Amino acid sequence: MATATTMRPLVSLALPQEGAARLATQLFLAIAGTLLLTLSAKTKVVLGPVDISMQTLAVLLIAAAFGLRLGVATLLLYMAEGAMGFPVFQGTPEKGIGLAYMVGPTGGYLAGFVVMAAIVGWAADRGWDRHPIKLFNAMLVAEVVMMAMGFAWLALLIGPEKSWQFGVVPFIVGDLIKVALAASLVPAVWSLLKRS
């Protein structure tokens, strides 16, 4: 049976055990995570008819490395920054800012990012981040839930057929690639750490 030490997420290796130093390190990591999320939102890869951001990859990696609590806290901080009007999302400031942007067409996907982080963080807290197949399965579930939430919200705004056609289908291949990449990277880091 695995010990509690082996069941902690990757970031636990860098965290002080207790006190103000631990809290300060967690705050620093959460802020760094929101910067990574912002950068990933603005980084686009053209794959077919749509530009695909690297944001889901960043969410998956943050959640797997940070675990449930810090991963979700990081995503909530990111959402708070967006709600306050900072241009942290993919379409900001061009397509609006703040809460008005967040309840627009991408609102379901943004909420889905938090749920995605919770699912993957939960899996990481249980040691699944050391096993590519287990981590891939958890990330795939998280991806499906996030896409379902995005689809459902978009369907309310533009109808189910258009929502499926423009909000899901163009992203399937790219998101599967990002899930596979994230599910490979985190266990690879654990393997390297075991060797050193």
Per-residue model confidence (pLDDT) at position 4: 43
| Continuous segment of H or E residues that includes residue 52 | strand 50-53
The answer to whether residues 179 and 52 touch, using CB atoms and an 8 Å cutoff, is: no
Per-residue model confidence (pLDDT) at position 192: 87
Give the distance from CA 129 to its chain's centroid.
14
CA–CA gap between residue 71 and residue 79 (Å, rounded): 13
Q: Could you give the dihedral angle defined by the CA atoms of residues 92, 138, 143 and 65, in that order, rounded to the nearest 10 degrees? A: 10
Query: What are the two backbone dihedrals, phi and then psi, of residue 51, each rounded to the nearest 5 degrees?
Result: -85, 130
Per-residue model confidence (pLDDT) at position 15: 80
Q: Which domains does the chain have, with CATH numbers?
A: 15-195 (1.10.1760.20)
DSSP bridge pairs for 51: 46
Amino acid making up residue 173: V
pLDDT along the chain (196 residues), means of 10: 59 82 93 97 79 92 96 98 95 89 95 98 95 97 98 96 94 93 94 79
Sorted by sequence, the CB contacts under 8 Å of residue 106 that are 6+ apart come out as: 89, 90, 91, 150
- Model pTM? 0.91
b/e map 144-165, b = 16+ CB within 10 Å: eebbebbbebbbeeeeeeebee
